Amino acid sequence: MRLSARPIAALVAALALTAGLSITGTPAVARPDDRPAAAEASDVSLAADTYTWKNARIDGGGFVPGIVFNRSEKNLAYARTDIGGAYRWDQAGKRWTPLLDWVDWDRWGWSGVVSLASDTAEPDNVYAAVGTYTNSWDPTNGAVLRSSDRGASWKAATLPFKLGGNMPGRGMGERLAVDPNKNSVLYLGAPSGNGLWRSTDSGVTWSEVTAFPNPGNYAQDPSDTSGYGNDNQGIVWVTFDERSASAGSTTQDIYVGVADKENTVYRSTDGGSTWSRIAGQPTGYLAHKGVLDSSTGHLYLTLSDTGGPYDGAKGQIWRYDTESGAWTDVSPVAEADTYYGFSGISVDRQKPGTLMATAYSSWWPDTQIFRSTDSGATWTQAWDYSSYPNRSNRYTLDVSSVPWLSWGANPTPPETAPKLGWMTESLEIDPFDSDRMMYGTGATVYGTEDLTSWDSGGPFTITPMVRGLEETAVNDLASPPSGAPLLSALGDIGGFRHTDLDAVPAMMFTSPNLDSTTSLDFAEASPGTVVRVGNADAAPHIGFSTDNGANWFQGSEPSGVTGGGTVAAAADGSGFVWSPEGAGVHHTTGYGTSWTASTGIPAGATVESDRKNPKKFYGFSAGTFYVSTDGGATFTAKATGLPAEGNVRFKALPGTEGDIWLAGGASTGAYGLWRSTDSGASFTRFSGVEQADSVGFGKAASGASYQTVFVSAKIGGVRGIFRSTDAGAGWTRINDDAHQWAWTGAAITGDPRVYGRVYVSTNGRGIQVGESSDTDGPGTDPDPGTDPGTDPGTDPGEPPADADCSVTYTVTNRWSGGFQAEVRITNTGAAAYDGWKLGWTFPGDQRIGQIWNASHQQTGAKVTVTDAGWNGKVAPGSSAAFGFTGTTTGDGTAPGAFTLGGENCAVG
């Protein structure tokens, strides 16, 4: 099955995204020290408790176009995704750690990573070139992020142009490179005709290399007027020959790949002062990657007739001898026999002359991986035909840790399930371990730890090496009152039924298999009845389940349906209303054996059901709310004056007829949160909510008379995930600046069985699960007008005199010269803290660098940390937490004692 990550689901999402975002100005030139914005503190976001966040495990689910190993430190590796941020490999846990969850709503495009670079000279340094689209879909310019603590914290230099982490050609690269001899020098290949850029101060400032002669000229589809397919893919990779200088001096020989089929490789021999096209180079192709084997002096090019990552019908591999200037065609197969392009390439740094390459665009019957141990003179393949259509594989592929990678398929040979992959544009041999190799696909990261068995006849074992890397785009979420706690509608891989949030589900939804599920719903009073709709190449676009999503059967559909749209189930499961793409709103009884057009409601309307009355359905379109009281047969226009622009999402309260919450709008018009208690006849806006994009409900707090409401919203000037336990009278921000996940507007829902638990959609970072430390919850959340301070004359930094406390200090990560820690303060007393100051003395020479969710002062070894304002109020039994990165020449030993307002705390 072809996984399209993602010119369909994500591009549609991108168009939707921009409709609801404020367009912010960007500088005309690169700005130094443009730090990622922190949300301003506000008294509407007082935290009554502290949330912990994790992903509902899926493991992968999206395109991984780049994997980068550091060449001077063992086990230090990074991965980049097209829309889901960047990750660092954790060798101890054999999992990936996300690095860009702090990216905020206004700069959601920075979650698209077009390139990564790890500093060989100083391994603590890592750089990321970020930006999702080069056209108007992304409102912000790109940036180069820099970190001196392996991605634990970042600074940013905003560029005077956009970058395209999710644009055509994103698998080429790496476009960003650090000079291995003089690491203050970096190069960046830019798209859109913006040329080659250079920094000489470790990424703080950037300027164009005006001497570089060719900004590229290749576009995937010059006839496209959207700015997507017709964008010039530009400068696509930079490679240094470290042999041409000594440590501390600028590397003299630099190679640059250009998206120009006639002039695809350039070289400088004077440290970037002058540049020239290399004579004798292959033409008619784009060099996706250029990798230099410094032991042999060979530069290898993988070439394709297009920029990828989906397309590519012909390809070659060439070798350039940097000493003699000779070019040699070392393609594994004759050009006439290729129906794909080449991209992923890596050399074994432990074994000169050993290299591997991928046929990235071989969709059928499988991708192909090639290996040579003689500098490309001869090659072997990961699989061959024994006697067509039967295959002989050099590998075994074990996906038991991520079983859905088989897609539940049972294909006819020569196809297999699971496949080796597709869109295999990144492949890297560990520079310290010839047995370890990783490669990215359109759905996962695969790897092996016994690669050299290939050379002795094999087999070698390939397994998913993707845990912790969660890259799904989430379209809808549901948490039924019984059965599985979570059902999801996802882009590209359909969706899942999670019976255990910490376990990878065995399979995505099948029968039917939908490329992307756009909407799902369950019958509130009969949660075993579930319906989902989505996009597929052909009918059906709808599926039904009678066992809570464990098993599915295909439904029929009205004529003209081209896409999923939205769907709603009657409260008792007796019928359904569907608003598909390509056809108007329709209704059915039973399980959709026949559909009848609804009247009184426009095509394309969003539909939902009342969660109490099975005959009542709701719709919304262009500022008008519609209501049906006859099972969706007829609709009547009711409330008007609601947002006519942007995305609008609404939900009815479970168990109560006619109680509806509506979120959405655009900054150019109405934008916020509304509530109706009369089945949509009228709506009242919440004046304290400036913007809102999704709304959902969860279990009521102990003593509360209303279910908990969750929103992705802007309240009191702060963007975040908010919770109300008193029907919107007061709001608590439950995420923090380290957990923002760019764009979270598609869907949100609480768990009806677990107080405080919330499921949050992201556009590339999977399903985020928030767990409250307060298992019962306060009776109400703070009123938006509540003063966070105390009575006059009382120091707000001091807790009450009789307060007690417990502190848990956890070192979450260590590296050479540094560490990361999390500190949690629990109020064990009987009165609330109205602000807090935590003190300790570090052992050794530890110093705090970057801190989040608090501020600090440090004198010598003594540290005082003060709340951030919004988390200063801590109820009895609740906690507040903050984190920081630090430097040390030791091992980052935890402090042995803590004080709060001068009083000793217990150490947890």
Active-site positions?
A: 82, 492
Distances (CA, A) of 827 to 808, 821, 831: 12, 20, 8
Q: Within a 10 A sphere around the Cβ of 683, how many other Cβ atoms? A: 21
* Spatial CB neighbours of 308, under 8 Å, sequence gap ≥ 6: 168, 169, 171, 172, 288, 341, 343, 360, 361, 423, 425
**Measured distance CA(543)–CA(609) in Å, rounded:** 18
Q: How would you write 64-107 as a 3-class SS string?
A: CCEEEECCCCCCCEEEECCCCCEEEEECCCCEEEECCCCCCCCC
Q: Are 566 and 533 within 8 A, CB to CB?
A: yes
Q: Are 493 and 555 within 8 A, CB to CB?
A: no
Angle value at C-alpha 616, between 612 and 620, nearest 5 degrees: 115
Q: What is the DSSP letter of 894?
A: P
Q: Are 366 and 419 within 8 A, CB to CB?
A: yes
**Measured distance CA(691)–CA(673) in Å, rounded:** 7
Q: What stretch of H or E contains 11?
A: helix 9-19
**Measured distance CA(71)–CA(91) in Å, rounded:** 16
**Measured distance CA(750)–CA(756) in Å, rounded:** 7
Reading the block at residue 231, the tokens are 């964008």
Q: Are 639 and 624 within 8 A, CB to CB?
A: yes
Angle value at C-alpha 732, between 805 and 112, nearest 5 degrees: 105
By the 10 Å C-beta count (0-12 exposed, 13-18 middle, 19+ buried), 415 is classed as middle
* Secondary structure (3-state) at 694: strand
Q: What is the DSSP letter of 699?
A: P
**Measured distance CA(581)–CA(597) in Å, rounded:** 14
Q: Within a 10 A sphere around the Cβ of 265, how many other Cβ atoms? A: 22
* Spatial CB neighbours of 400, under 8 Å, sequence gap ≥ 6: none
* Secondary structure (3-state) at 721: strand
